[in-house]
């Protein structure tokens, strides 16, 4: 059983920690009965829906079910008989689709099949909402009348722009509102190492003294690093520097089709080089790390290799919303089927890369109302301006994923190979997560739709070292952009990491504020003594090359 360190004392029990295996896959039942049961369910739901629609048509159902849905907040949906019936009918149909998926699961379908069905049903239901049309949206019609049709003209113009420039989807953010290095990624620093895959940025100290052991921040390869350095007051990197950590971050280069061969070895090797540079620049014999989402996967592969070769260059490792066991149920499992992964693999191989916008579009449809159709209504139907929001600007700035790395990530999703000892070899070392014994700090987010918190909790138990698990409120991105001072922020810190995550949660201590503070306390204990802050960045061997945010985040290369 994995022990959990107290975030301020760092004390741990001395009992050995058992090794955990991957979560078992549910047994599949025979297809014949499942098909029969599915046919019966469709028939029964058709009859039920028909009765509900008949009652709605006759006006028997007076209240609009689901008025908490903001799409139907306009008074016309309750007061106008035509709109009331239209809204009731749509919500009854949507509920019927959801019940069919529930019955599909109850009939013995595997959870990945259920997630695929739920993904398709939710996307279909969101797209079919009457509020996505001008005639079916009373608020948009009122605005058209109030503006003398100018809102419609503006909306059509924005729609044509999005068709030309955004793949036919509503723009999430005004592209002129933010600029990397202008009002995003502005924490002072310099690139102290660059190769063909990464830039390593060292940040200027903000305190007279700093911790002797430096910190490496590892962002996901499918995102730009500056989610962790958005704006002043909303920057994890700024927070880390302010706590006296000598902070470095990896900035991944955006691959092109010529880089299709970049793979797990390529990226893990660059993390190994980054650690070596940090040790040379700071004079520290080892470093701390914090990996976010897919960056945590690469961090784990480095930790595995270092354990295999008895290299103690990493003292501790933290994880932000990272899944290692893809056998745990998660909505992302909707893309783990052989047919889906096969199509995705063929597309990326043909192009050399998986385009960042293509990947972003898929993820947008995991929350279709929030990330697709809300924008369609506000911008295309109501003619409202595209919003200016830093997180959405970052989300729209997605880099590519090289074909080989994409293929390997698909293997994680489809085969859950990361948690099978010996199934992978990276940097010449067979991957066995149980061999990783460094202390870890693992976070999950309670409403995360990409990496559900129970799966993140399992990350803390798959590794053999002492581990602290922290559960944050909010979703996937909201949990990461979670600076201190937010009155709505809270998180839970527990004791012993028992097998059942719900049991852990029931016993966990609720704390107000950001998990960043708890992480900083935990990391400070493992960061060595305070020493005078360096007066310059880099070293004689690794001098400062370019001011932060560097070149690669801007898709530039040195002359």
Give the DSSP per-residue string, 143-177.
Answer: HHHHTTTHHHHHHHHHHHHHHHHSTTS--SS-TTS
Q: Which secondary structure element, helix H or strand E, spans residue 251, and what is its range?
A: strand 247-252
Let me know: does 193 contact 199? Beta carbons within 8 Å: yes
The full length of the chain comes to 559
Do residues 242 and 215 lie in contact, with contact meaning Cβ atoms separated by under 8 Å? Answer: no
Mean pLDDT of 406-430: 93
What whole-number distance in Å separates Cα of residue 324 and Cα of residue 440?
14
Provide the token pair at 262. 């970049």
Q: Which one of 184, 230, 293, 308 is the catalytic residue?
A: 293
Q: What is the pLDDT of residues 87-123, one digit of tens each?
A: 999 999 999 999 999 998 888 888 888 988 999 999 9
State whether residue 74 is helix, strand or coil. Answer: coil
C-alpha angle 416-418-419 in degrees, rounded to nearest 5: 85
Distance of alpha carbon 480 from alpha carbon 456, whole angstroms: 14
Residue 104: partners with Cβ closer than 8 Å, 6 or more residues away: 38, 41, 113, 114, 117
Distance CA 472, CA 157 (A): 41
pLDDT above 50: residue 506: yes
**CATH superfamily of the 189-331+399-463+530-554 domain:** Alpha/Beta hydrolase fold, catalytic domain (3.40.50.1820)
What is the DSSP annotation of 445-484? Answer: ETT-SSS-HHHHHHHHHHSSS-EEEEEESS-HHHHHS--T
Look-up of token digits 């067979």: 430
Q: What angle, 0 to 180 degrees and rounded to 10, lies between the N-to-C axes of helices 294-308 and 264-282?
A: 70
CA distance 372 to 39: 32
Q: Are strands 314-320 and 440-445 parallel, antiparallel or unpaired?
A: parallel
Q: Are 441 and 522 in contact (CB under 8 A)?
A: yes
Phi, psi of 420 (to 5 degrees): -100, 110
Helices within 212-316 (DSSP H only): 236-242, 264-282, 294-308
- Residues facing residue 546 across a β-bridge: 191
∠ CA 324-329-331, nearest 5°, is 95
Token look-up 């080892």 returns 286
Q: In this structure, what DSSP letter does residue 429 have?
A: E
456 is catalytic: no
Q: What is the average pLDDT across 68-84?
A: 91
Q: Is the CA virtual torsion 319, 322, 324, 325 positive or negative?
A: positive
Q: What is the pLDDT of residue 166?
A: 87
Q: What pLDDT is stored for residue 33 in this prediction?
A: 53
- Cβ-count burial of 165 within 10 angstroms (0-12 exposed, 13-18 middle, 19+ buried)? exposed
Quickly count: other Cβ atoms within 10 Å of residue 168's Cβ. 10
For 440, phi then psi, to 5°, come to -130, 150
Average pLDDT for residues 530-554, to the nearest whole number?
97
Average pLDDT, the chain: 89
| pLDDT tops 90 at residue 308 | yes
322 has a pLDDT exceeding 50:
yes
pLDDT in tens, 142-180: 999 999 999 999 999 999 999 998 889 999 889 889 999
pLDDT in tens, 256-306: 999 999 999 999 999 999 999 999 999 999 999 999 999 999 999 999 999
Domains of the chain by residue range:
189-331+399-463+530-554
Position with higher pLDDT, 25 vs 132: 132
Q: Can you tell me which residue has the tokens 């109501």?
A: 382
Question: Are 434 and 464 in contact, with CB atoms under 8 Å apart?
Answer: yes
- Residue 224 pLDDT class (50, 70, 90 cuts): very high
Residue 371 to residue 105: CA distance in whole angstroms = 27
Q: Is the pLDDT of residue 439 over 80?
A: yes
Model confidence at 557, pLDDT cuts 50, 70, 90, reads confident
What pLDDT was estimated at residue 336? Answer: 65
Q: Which of 300, 208, 287, 197 is nearest to 247 (CA)?
A: 287
Burial zone of 9 (CB within 10 Å; 0-12 exposed, 13-18 middle, 19+ buried): exposed
Q: Tokens 């099949």 correspond to what residue?
A: 113
- Which of helix, strand or coil describes residue 319? strand
Question: What does DSSP say about strands 287-292 and 314-320: parallel, antiparallel, or unpaired?
Answer: parallel
Structure tokens at 542: 């690794």
* Angle (deg, nearest 10), helices 150-165 and 138-146: 120
């Amino acid at each position: 059983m994995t022990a959990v360190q107290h975030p301020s004392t760092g004390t741990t029990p001395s009992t050995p920690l058992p090794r955990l295996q991957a979560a078992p896959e549910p047994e599949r039942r025979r297809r014949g009965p499942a098909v029969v049961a599915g046919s019966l369910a469709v028939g029964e739901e058709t009859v039920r829906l028909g009765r509900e629609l008949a009652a709605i048509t006759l006006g028997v159902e007076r209240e609009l079910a689901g008025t908490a849905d903001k799409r139907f907040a306009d008074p016309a949906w309750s007061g106008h008989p035509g709109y009331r019936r239209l809204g009731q009918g749509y919500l009854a149909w949507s509920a019927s689709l959801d019940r069919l998926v529930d019955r599909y699961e109850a009939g013995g379908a595997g959870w990945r099949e259920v997630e695929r069905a739920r993904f398709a049903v939710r996307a279909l239901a969101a797209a079919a909402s009457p509020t996505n049309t001008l005639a079916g949206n009373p608020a948009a019609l009122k605005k058209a009348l109030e503006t003398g049709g100018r809102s419609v003209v503006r909306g059509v113009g924005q729609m044509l722009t999005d068709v030309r420039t955004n793949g036919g989807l509503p723009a999430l953010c005004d592209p002129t509102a933010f600029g990397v290095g202008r009002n995003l990624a502005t924490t002072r620093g310099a690139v102290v190492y660059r190769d063909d895959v990464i830039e390593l940025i060292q940040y200027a100290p903000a305190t007279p003294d700093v911790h002797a052991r430096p910190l490496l921040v590892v962002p996901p390869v499918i995102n730009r690093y500056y989610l962790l350095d958005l704006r002043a007051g909303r920057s994890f990197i700024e927070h880390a520097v302010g706590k006296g950590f000598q902070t470095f971050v990896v900035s991944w280069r955006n691959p092109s089709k010529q880089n299709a061969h970049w793979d797990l070895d390529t990226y893990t090797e660059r993390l190994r080089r980054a650690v070596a540079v940090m040790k040379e620049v700071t004079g520290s014999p080892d470093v701390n790390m914090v990996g976010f989402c897919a960056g945590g996967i690469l961090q784990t592969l480095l930790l595995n290799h270092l354990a295999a070769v008895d290299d103690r260059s990493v003292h501790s490792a933290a994880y932000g919303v990272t899944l290692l066991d893809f056998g745990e149920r998660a909505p992302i499992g909707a893309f783990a089927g052989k047919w889906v992964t096969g199509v995705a693999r063929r597309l990326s191989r043909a192009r050399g890369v998986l385009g960042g916008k293509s990947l972003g579009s898929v993820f947008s449809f995991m929350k279709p109302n929030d990330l697709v159709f809300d924008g369609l209504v506000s911008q295309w139907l109501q003619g409202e301006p595209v919003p200016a929001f830093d997180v959405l600007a970052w989300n729209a700035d997605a880099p590519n994923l090289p074909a080989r790395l994409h293929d390997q990530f698909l293997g994680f999703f489809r085969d859950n190979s990361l948690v099978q000892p010996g199934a992978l070899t990276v940097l010449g070392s067979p991957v066995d997560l149980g061999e990783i014994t460094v202390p870890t700090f693992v976070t999950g987010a309670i409403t995360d739709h990409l990496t559900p918190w129970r799966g993140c909790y399992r990350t803390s138990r798959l590794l053999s070292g002492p581990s602290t698990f922290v559960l944050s409120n909010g979703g996937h991105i909201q949990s990461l952009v979670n600076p201190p001072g937010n009155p709505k922020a809270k998180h839970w810190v527990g004791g012993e990491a028992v097998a059942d995550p719900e049991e852990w949660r029931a016993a966990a201590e609720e704390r107000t504020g950001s998990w960043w503070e708890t992480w900083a306390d935990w990391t400070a204990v493992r960061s060595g003594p305070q020493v005078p802050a360096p007066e310059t960045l880099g070293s004689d061997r690794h001098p400062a090359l370019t001011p932060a945010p560097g070149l690669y985040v801007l898709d530039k290369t040195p002359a």
